[in-house]
């Protein structure tokens, strides 16, 4: 059996870094595909994380670091190798440095009637990723996600007004959720009806403002494990400079993690910032702070996972703390034809 079905991970996920010029029609290249989901963050200064997708319209964003409603601005269009930006300072401040994390789904999506709520779904079943938009019903409901396999992570945001984000991570339990814009622990919420997602739908409780209120619109990002490409799991910190090793089965290009049993930030690492090991330049999904290159939260990217090189605090490798993570590959540990990858 092949170790992975995806030999070239950068066909489905890739990170780009760039500098802004403050001008309209600023073209960013290097993505390697026409991105359907773009997560953008200013590195050199304080500004919010902004998330764009084609299901809502690539020129619209929501901010993971706060509760605000959807905004229209910043990205004009995408193309086969990147995107074209407006002069908006959120993504294109003159001399500002930025990072963009990019996923491939399936364009603007199509109608899905698998659930009791009809949805619009842009699904990439090969890469285990879908973008789902739907309107709330006020009743206990199901929503189709289009993946053909059960998602391990679902991230939901109300679009038409202010509200907290909701994150389901199956390694924390099928109804424990946390808020992407906050630092709270995962806890029982009832939001997903204590029901695990299936290969076709996820379940929602009725009349919950953050996921299912009548008259409100929502976006959901759904992720399923794909061997050799993506992994959604958990680990326990050891509080040591010879830190915990997390096996993913691939050399990571990006991972996001959060302490699940207590307060802690949503920490993001990738393979394009800070060059070689150890990785030190962290950003937070829940925070507008600039990139922190002087921190002591060091991690190594290796050929089959990532390993911490610091004692850390609540956010990364504290002794006996529990953490969840979502990770995507730079390359599989072994390709489908038996070629191994190398560490950084």
> Structure tokens of 339?
């070629």
Euclidean distance between CA atoms 259 and 324, whole angstroms = 6
* pLDDT band per the 50, 70, 90 thresholds, residue 170: very high
Closest CA to 253 of 3, 4, 9: 9
Of the pLDDT bands very low, low, confident and very high (cuts 50, 70, 90), residue 229 is: very high
Residue with more model confidence, 4 or 86: 86
First to last CA, the chain: 27
pLDDT digits (tens, 9 = 90+) for 281-335: 899 999 999 997 766 678 899 999 999 988 767 888 898 899 999 999 997 655 5
The predicted pLDDT at position 2 comes to 46
* pLDDT higher than threshold 90 for residue 72: yes
Q: What is the pLDDT of residue 11?
A: 97
Contact 275, 339 (CB under 8 A): no
Of 52, 30, 40, 13, give the one whose Cα is nearest residue 231: 13
The whole-number pLDDT of residue 274 equals 76
How far, in Å, CA of 212 to CA of 238, rounded?
A: 39
pLDDT interval class at 1 (50, 70, 90):
very low
Q: In residues, how long is the chain? A: 344
Cis peptide before 240 (omega within 30 of 0): no
- Give the whole-angstrom CA distance, residue 156 versus residue 216: 13
From residue 34, how far is each of 14, 108, 110, 220, 229 by CA, in Å? 11, 12, 17, 20, 19
Q: What is the mean pLDDT of residues 27-41?
A: 98
Q: Is the pTM of this model over 0.75?
A: yes
| Residue 336 CB-density burial (10 A; 0-12 exposed, 13-18 middle, 19+ buried) | middle
Averaged pLDDT for residues 163-174: 97
The first and second tokens of residue 240, run together, are 């040591």
Give the other-Cβ count within 10 Å of 13's Cβ. 25
What's the confidence (pLDDT) of residue 279? 81
> What does the pLDDT average to over 56-63?
97
Q: What integer is the mean pLDDT of 26-34?
A: 98
Stretch 255-264: mean pLDDT, rounded?
A: 96
């Amino acid at each position: 059996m092949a170790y992975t079905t995806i030999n070239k991970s950068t066909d489905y996920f890739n990170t780009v870094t760039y500098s802004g010029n403050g001008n309209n029609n600023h073209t960013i290249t290097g993505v390697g595909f026409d991105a359907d989901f773009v997560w953008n963050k200013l590195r050199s200064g304080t500004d919010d994380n902004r998330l764009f997708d084609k299901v809502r319209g690539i020129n619209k964003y929501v901010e993971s670091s706060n509760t605000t409603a959807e905004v229209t601005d910043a990205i004009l269009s995408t193309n086969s190798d990147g995107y074209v930006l407006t002069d908006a300072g959120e993504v294109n401040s003159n001399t500002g440095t930025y990072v963009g994390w990019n996923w491939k789904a399936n364009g603007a999506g199509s109608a899905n009637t698998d659930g009791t709520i009809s949805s619009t779904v842009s699904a990439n079943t090969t890469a285990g990723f879908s973008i789902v938009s739907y309107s709330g019903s006020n009743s206990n409901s199901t929503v189709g996600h289009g993946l053909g396999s059960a998602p391990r992570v679902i991230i939901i945001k109300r679009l038409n007004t202010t509200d907290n984000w909701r994150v389901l991570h199956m390694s924390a339990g099928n109804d424990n959720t946390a808020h992407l814009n906050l630092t709270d622990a995962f806890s029982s919420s009832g939001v997903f009806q204590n029901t695990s997602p299936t290969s076709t739908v996820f379940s929602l409780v009725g009349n919950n403002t953050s996921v299912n209120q009548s008259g409100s619109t929502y976006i959901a990002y759904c992720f399923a494990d794909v061997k050799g490409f993506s992994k959604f799991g958990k680990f326990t910190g050891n509080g040591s400079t010879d830190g915990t090793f997390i096996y993913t089965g691939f050399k990571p290009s990006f991972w996001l993690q959060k302490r699940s049993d207590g307060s802690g930030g949503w920490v993001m690492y990738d393979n394009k910032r800070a060059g070689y090991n150890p990785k030190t330049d962290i950003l937070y999904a829940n925070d507008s702070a600039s990139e922190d290159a002087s921190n002591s939260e060091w991690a190594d990217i290796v050929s089959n996972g990532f390993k911490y090189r610091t004692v850390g605090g609540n956010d990364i490798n504290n002794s006996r703390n529990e953490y969840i993570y979502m990770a995507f590959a730079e390359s599989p540990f072994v390709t489908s034809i038996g070629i191994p990858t190398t560490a950084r």
